[in-house]
Amino acid sequence: MKRFAQLFTAIDQSTKTNTKVAALADYFEQAHDPDRLWTIALFSGRRPKRAVTTTKLREWAAEQAGIPLWLFEESYSIVGDLAETIALVLPATVTHDDKPLSDWIKSLREIYTQPEDARKDFVLKAWATLGGTERFIFNKLITGGFRVGISQKLMTRALARATDKPEAELAHRLMGNWHPDTTTWHQLVEADDASADASRPYPFYLAYGLESSPDDLGELSQWRAEWKWDGIRGQLIRRDGQYFVWSRGEELMTDRFPELARTVDFIPDGTVLDGELLVWPDGQPTPASFNTLQARIGRKTVPKKLLADAPVVLHAYDLLEWQGQDIRTRPFSERRALLEKLSAVVPAEAPLRISPQLEFSSWEALAEIRTTAREAQAEGLMLKRVDSPYLAGRKKGDWWKWKLDPLTVDAVMIYAQSGSGRRANLFTDFTFAVWDGNDLIPFTKAYSGLTDAEFRKITAWVRKNTLERFGPVRKVTPHHVFEIAFEGIQRSTRHKSGVALRFPRMLRWRQDKPIQEANSLDDLEDMLRIYG
Amino acid sequence: MTNAPVLSFTENGIYCAAGDFYIDPWRPVDRALITHGHSDHARWGMQRYLATHIALPVMRHRLGDITAEGIGYGEIRRIGDAKVSFHPAGHVPGSAQIRVEVKGEVWVASGDYKVVDDGLSDPFSPVECHSFITESTFGLPVFNWADQTTVAAEINAWWATCAANGKTAFLGAYALGKAQRLLTMLDPAIGPILTHTAIENTNRIIRDQGIALPDTILANAELDPKSHPNAIVLAPPSALGSAWSKGFGAQETAFASGWMAIRGVRRRRVGDRGFVISDHADWGGLMSAIRETGAENIYVTHGYTEVFSRYLNDSGWTAQVVPTQFEGESLDKDGTE
Ligand SMILES: [Zn+2]
Ligand SMILES: [Zn+2]
């Protein structure tokens, strides 16, 4: 565990990508097979199942630390991370039992079936024998959550450096349905014939946001445009007589979308489609809002009524595998042509459509189309170069997303709450209000969008302008106006204001505006009429 | 004024009616007793100041031409009907807890304090009292400081690695207190110790009082940054990443603060490393200080005040939160401590 803790620390305490990749590459070269296999698994979100409930862990930790449970909970709310809070409150010790990472995971998985006292015994022993970072990692393992500041992309790069294999191949090998129980380091990373299982998806190609105008992209004829849908990116895989649906978050979602089973009837074996999963009821001109789709994603089994009210359709926009061949290196125009050919035989009422390409004669004309994206229930546009290959991961150059500017309102800050974790010593969570006559009505919370310097400044101000305290929340003098940006607005009965925003964040601190100039509830109602 | 409390909490600051004076006031008053020289405690604009002999020179440096008198630790002074004395708080050189006695009732205002000996400040000495005014900057059980020697070893190991990789080590620290403490922890065998002007100014004042600090080289504009390989540079946080620091070429930056105990805070700093060290008491330190005063009434001024006073009330003390403008250990660039 010490070696893994060293790796974790090296990654965690550096802000430099190269340092992180080098530390990880060293580890992949040196560690034993089971350890490095588990490391890939953990860093790609394949974690061991939770061995003890967090309620029990909190109780045991408070007991061991000799503090009341409420004080543990308060500390947790400030630290923001359960594993870390436990590691910090327990009496200090140094690690004197250095079992390898994979052994710890093995022991952890052996206690699943044991009675509670045996599990408690195991946990208390681990806490007593593990110090510092090792204890923190153990807590992460036992709570089943493990997130580390390293992306799939960086891990693949480190693995490429350690194994001398191309990054793109490794990215593909690491996709899909494997688990340390069902494979080995050799099979996963080294074996020549990557005889992957039929469900294995391709790494998604992700676009960067276009920051300047598309004029800089060059020759107009080299580009194709589509709507950027506001659904879930997904891959539909048709192999070995079966079908699989993967989300971009690499979650297998086949069972959540039973209506897609029909696609098996007209998509030939050996086909992989990339597209957007959308709720799109028959006869409607646009898909339903993201909220409706969210209701579907939340259900592992879908009731009949929901299936009828909120039918899911795949809007395909790329073809990655055709007749069993990986065609990702072929130009987009060719892949698109094949996609169109394939879709020509699909009946109109089938839950598979092809995402239309938008006609435009100039960048100005396209910009004009973009302004109508909200009416189409889209987030903006996607621009794709006609000769672009289908790359792995987020890459600049060939694909761009050209999103709509967000909606904004000017609002008054009325409550402040201190942050946790990263921002434990700052006020970062604010509640904002708009005018309703002479009253300020709270309508949203936001906690991101300011710089650290701004958060420090507002923190000092909050300390001096607190009107009332309710636990960690402070009511402050209405004085500061912030421009709040958001992606969508919906009617909501749960909120006093009657509206709920999607992805609200602080765009700007409007120190130039007096509170009288903030927006009103009527303004929000207007937005609701137009965009809700 | 027969039944006035010994100390009360007013909008100017902590007030003693019997002696008609304030402790660490935040608005201009006639007579101010100052616990220590940090800017949230020693403010500008008082008619008269009283502070320890060791605290005064820094205050004069910061506040300019002030009317101030010095006092030794343990020396008893009568002000009006109050008996007043200053006792080591262990926070920074010259820092004091102020004991105020009126008709046999004793209150102690502790300002900022830590209970471990940093080898530089007069170590904290508990003062028995009926009512104790305490900070709670790190008043949560997640804050438990490691030994100074352990942290020193971590810092020196980091510095040695930087030196071996041909990088200059930049360590961010506030000018008064933390910087000098860190200086005494550094191992001069690794390389030369350079200091930013703001820190060197305070160093000079501290040295002039006969407090020994290791040798340092002033890193002002005239210094050739390349002339001191293997160096560590102590600088205020605001100078990290500045044009001045960039002149040193390849470098790593680190920051030393009690807040570095929290992983999230550590990661938010755009530095390479965070070392956990503070001039404020940790959880155990706060609790032992409170216990040793024997006080029944505890007033909590700044930090995690609500949680901390609730815990004290649960544990048999009579505690309450009093709002103040003291700030505890800050991560601000121009922060106070
Ligand atoms: Zn202070
Ligand atoms: Zn201080």
Residue A91 CB burial class (10 angstroms; 0-12, 13-18, ≥19): exposed
Task: Kindly state the tokens that stand for A113.
Answer: 């079936």
CA distance A164 to A148: 24
Interface contact A422-B268, CB threshold 8 A:
yes
Measured in Å, residue B34 CA sits from the centre of ligand 1 at 11
CA distance A250 to A200: 10
Q: Which ligand is nearest the CA of B327, by number?
A: 1
Interface contact A422-B265, CB threshold 8 A:
yes
In the CATH hierarchy, which top-level class contains the domain A205-403?
A: alpha beta
Query: How far is C-alpha A338 from the geometric centre of its chain's CA atoms?
Result: 31
Interface contact A422-B311, CB threshold 8 A:
no
Report chain A residues whose CB lies below 8 A from the CB of B264.
Answer: 79-81, 420-424
Residue pair A282/A236 in contact (Cβ under 8 Å)? The answer is no
Q: Which of A108, A132, A154, A139 is nearest to A6 (CA)?
A: A132
- List helix spans (H) across B99-225: 148-164, 178-185, 197-208
In the CATH hierarchy, which top-level class contains the domain A2-142?
A: mainly alpha
**What is the interface pTM, i.e. ipTM, of the complex?**
0.93
- What is residue A16's predicted lDDT score, i.e. its pLDDT? 80
Instruction: State mean pLDDT over A40-51.
Output: 86
Residue pair B235/B243 in contact (Cβ under 8 Å)? The answer is no
* Nearest CB partner across the interface for A13, out of B273, B311, B325: B273
Task: Kindly state the tokens that stand for A353.
Answer: 């459509």
Instruction: State mean pLDDT over A312-329.
Output: 95
- What is residue B332's predicted lDDT score, i.e. its pLDDT? 57
CA distance B331 to B54: 26
Residue pair A462/A405 in contact (Cβ under 8 Å)? The answer is no
CA distance B133 to B35: 12
Position of tokens 């006073």?
Answer: B309
Task: Kindly state the tokens that stand for A526.
Answer: 């207007």
B178-185 vs B197-208: helix axis angle to the nearest 10? Answer: 80
Q: B115-148 burial, b if ≥16 CB within 10 A, otherwise e?
A: bbebebbbebebbebbbbbbbbbbbbbbbbbbeb
CA distance A298 to A257: 11
Position of tokens 């609200």?
Answer: A504
| Structure confidence by residue, pLDDT tens digits, A343-397 | 998 888 889 999 999 999 999 999 999 989 988 889 899 999 999 999 988 888 8
Which distant-in-sequence residues (6+ apart) come within 8 Å of A259 by Cβ? A307, A311, A312, A351
CA distance A58 to A355: 49
CA distance A187 to A198: 15
Measured in Å, residue B93 CA sits from the centre of ligand 1 at 14
- What is residue B237's predicted lDDT score, i.e. its pLDDT? 84
Parse chain B into domains and list their residue ranges.
8-142+279-321, 148-275
| pLDDT beneath 70, residues of chain B | 1-2, 269-270, 331-337
Q: A456-468 burial, b if ≥16 CB within 10 A, otherwise e?
A: bebbbbbbeeeee
Chain B closest CA to A413's CA: distance in Å?
22
CA distance A86 to A188: 35
Give B74-122 as a DSSP string: T-EEEETTEEEEEEE-SSSTT-EEEEEEETTEEEEE--S---S--SSSP
| Structure confidence by residue, pLDDT tens digits, A17-44 | 888 999 999 999 999 999 999 999 998 8
Q: B196-214 burial, b if ≥16 CB within 10 A, otherwise e?
A: bebbbbbbebbeeeebebe
Which of A157-171, A481-495, B279-293 tops mean pLDDT?
B279-293
Largest interatomic CA distance in chain A? 72
Q: Quick one: which H or E segment has residue A75?
A: helix A69-79
Q: Which of A480, A455, A477, A459 is nearest to A468 (CA)?
A: A477
Interface contact A425-B259, CB threshold 8 A:
yes
Chain B closest CA to A415's CA: distance in Å?
17
Q: Is B265 left (phi over 0), alpha (psi -120 to 50) or beta?
A: alpha
* Paired strand residues for B78: B83
- What is residue B1's predicted lDDT score, i.e. its pLDDT? 46
What are the C-alpha distances in Å from A96 to residues A4, A84, A131, A312?
Answer: 15, 20, 8, 54
What are the C-alpha distances in Å from B270 to residues A16, A43, B253, B267?
Answer: 10, 23, 9, 7
Task: Kindly state the tokens that stand for B184.
Answer: 């005494």
A69-79 vs A82-89: helix axis angle to the nearest 10? Answer: 120
Question: CATH 3.30.70.1170: does it fit domain B148-275?
Answer: no
If pLDDT is split at 50, 70 and 90, which confidence band does A195 have? low
Q: Which residues surround ligand 1, an ion (CB under 5 A)?
A: B 40, 112, 326
- What is residue B89's predicted lDDT score, i.e. its pLDDT? 98
**What part of A 66-85 touches B (C-beta under 8 Å)?**
67-68, 71-72, 74-75, 78-81, 84-85
Q: CA angle A135-A136-A141, nearest 5°? A: 95
Query: How far is C-alpha A127 from the geometric centre of its chain's CA atoms?
Result: 31
Please name the residue of chain B whose CA is at the shortest distance from the CA of residue A14: B272
CATH architecture observed for domain B8-142+279-321: 4-Layer Sandwich (3.60)
Interface contact A456-B267, CB threshold 8 A:
no
CA distance B46 to A511: 32
CA distance A394 to A32: 31
DSSP state for residue A200 in the 8-state scheme? P
Instruction: State mean pLDDT over A452-463.
Output: 88
Interface contact A71-B141, CB threshold 8 A:
yes
- What is residue A422's predicted lDDT score, i.e. its pLDDT? 66
Q: Which ligand is nearest the CA of B324, by number?
A: 1
Please indicate whether residue B173 or residue A315 has the higher confidence score (pLDDT): A315
| Structure confidence by residue, pLDDT tens digits, A88-139 | 999 988 777 789 999 999 999 899 889 999 999 999 999 999 988 999 999 9
- What is residue B336's predicted lDDT score, i.e. its pLDDT? 53
Q: CA angle B33-B38-B40, nearest 5°? A: 80
**What part of A 411-440 touches B (C-beta under 8 Å)?**
420-425
Q: Which of B227, B223, B234 is nearest to B185 (CA)?
A: B234
Query: How far is C-alpha B334 from the geometric centre of its chain's CA atoms?
Result: 14
What are the C-alpha distances in Å from B30 to residues A483, B86, B102?
Answer: 44, 19, 20
- What is residue B2's predicted lDDT score, i.e. its pLDDT? 52
Give A232-247 as a DSSP string: EEEEEEEETTEEEEEE
Residue B301 CB burial class (10 angstroms; 0-12, 13-18, ≥19): buried
Residue A215 has pLDDT above 60, yes or no: yes
Parse chain A into domains and list their residue ranges.
2-142, 205-403, 407-531
Interface contact A423-B265, CB threshold 8 A:
yes
Query: How far is C-alpha A95 from the geometric centre of its chain's CA atoms?
Result: 34
- List helix spans (H) across chain B: 56-63, 148-164, 178-185, 197-208, 243-246, 263-268, 283-293, 305-314
User: Which amino acid appears at position B181 of this protein?
Assistant: R
Q: Quick one: which H or E segment has residue A332?
A: helix A332-344
CA distance A241 to B75: 92
Q: Which of A525, A526, A435 is nearest to A478 (CA)?
A: A435
Which distant-in-sequence residues (6+ apart) come within 8 Å of B308 by Cβ? B136, B139, B140, B286, B300, B319
pTM here is 0.77
- Which fold does the domain A407-531 belong to in CATH? OB fold (Dihydrolipoamide Acetyltransferase, E2P) (2.40.50)
Catalytic residue chosen out of the listed positions A228, A396, A403, A464: A228
User: Strand, helix or coil at A208?
Assistant: strand
Q: Give the sign of the dihedral formed by CA B169, CA B173, CA B178, CA B179.
A: positive
CA distance B167 to A88: 32
- Whether A228 is catalytic is yes
Interface size A-B, in CB pairs within 8 Å, comes to 81
